Amino acid sequence: MNRRETGIFDAGDVLDEPREECGVFGMYDFSGSENVAPAIYYGLLALQHRGQESCGIAVSDTTGPKGRVLSRKGMGLVNENFQEKDLDTLKGDIGVGHVRYSTAGASTIENAQPLVLHYIKGTLAMAHNGNLVNAPELTKELSRTGAIFQTTTDSELIAYEIARARINTGSVEEAVSKAMERLKGSYSLVIMSPRKLIGARDPFGFRPLCIGKRGKAWFLASESCALDTVGAEFVRDVEPGEIVTISPRFGLHSDRSHCIRHGKTARCIFEYIYFGRADSEIDRIPVYNSRIQAGRYLAQDSPADADLVIGVPESGSVAALGYSMESGIPYGQGFVKNGYVGRTFIQPGQQSRESAVRVKLNPLRHAVEGKRVVMIDDSIVRGTTSDRIVRMLREAGATEVHMRVSSPPFLHPCYFGTDIPEREQLIAYNRSLDEICSVIGADSLAYLKMERLPQIVDGLPICSGCFSGKYPIDPPEVDIRGEYEH
């Protein structure tokens, strides 16, 4: 039975938002005086926006029995699964953490991460953010060698590949390098071995990964905002195709012979438009600046006669500020977002789905009443929410609603870790701009132009396949998303 049959809805389902699978975090304290689990907990709280379905922490004490790993995983939010007493039981000076969202299929505790793998060379704990497009081929090959799978995640395939390569290599980082040669797709990895913390990023750099330091403690995190939360100084990003090793002997070390690089990179543009927190910096580009610039470009390319600019929280708000700054139209708060709605909630009886939307978002009548409003959102996926939000603004007294979107229209699915559905479910597929505008009930509609995408990240090479259909890697011939969850 699925969630809709039970009447239980994911908050993202209701708001028709694109979603991203995971956030990863790792810590190694060389002083040995600190239990790392509380810091990992706070790091995961800062990354909660990247995944709200499950979470987990795995730690080890490098001064204790080699290969002994303590872990705890659970379904739901970080603060729902970890209390102080739980963190007290996770004693160690090295550890990894993970928050997860899956695109489809069953949501089970077996698929929660970090994955802990016991094999002939010892123990590994791994957290993964991304999606492999060659998962079926790897599964078949590993199955023929006797592999028994405990999850339906492609993350387990990566762990197996590393363990298999480690048998014939001299170090864990060399095994990671050998495994990366066989992986096709997007991945940022944080791996805990008995005496090392390792970070790795796919050669295209689809998903972010950065390095931080606080005293004698080192950190790896999906976003720099998580480093800020634990009081760590941002050191640098892990480069695309790079493998970094953190150990007491060498500190932070990167061996070029282990790196997998081919010169072409393609960061996911949606990290800047939507996924990343506004206070994060990804590959030296502040997310806040990207969104301000997207709003400015929208105002330049798609002006509107209006009295007020508002944003759909959270990621639409910064772009709305940029639109206001460029256009001179006053910026205001148009919605109140209910911050107390967790991962799921119950749809109220047989009432309309619009009631469920209002649980998360409600217009500020006294702000919008009698005004011509420009409403900025980061994207429109299926369009099932935009029409309700436009209607809510009109019912609150807005005389006109002009919708501006800080990304181009979604026309293609994503195979690299973003929950963009098949083309037939996308509102922009086979519809003109006027038709989309009519469906959502706005007075006017405009999207960010494709040529603006590189400009909002200062020319950084990007992947924009969900908009253009041009992918940096050939997509799979068969859409396997949901069969191999992320």
Q: Is the dihedral of CA 392, 395, 397, 400 positive or negative?
A: positive
Q: What is the DSSP string of 339-356?
A: TT--SEEE--TTS-HHHH
Residue 73: strand pairing partners = 56
State the angle between helix axes of 433-440 and 386-395 in degrees (0 to 180), rounded to the nearest 10: 50
For residue 24, give the H/E element and its range: strand 22-29
Q: Which amino acid is at 178?
A: K
Is 259 a catalytic site residue?
no
Structure tokens at 169: 């290599």
| Inter-residue contact 269 to 292 (CB < 8 Å) | no
Structure tokens at 459: 């020319």
Structure tokens at 412: 């293609």
- Of 456, 455, 451, 482, nearest to 467 by C-alpha is 451
Q: Phi-psi category of 241—alpha, beta or left, where left has phi over 0 and alpha has psi -120 to 50?
A: left
Rounded to whole angstroms, the Cα distance separating 459 from 38 reads 38
Q: Which amino acid is at 171?
A: S
Question: Any idea which residues carry the catalytic annotation?
Answer: 22
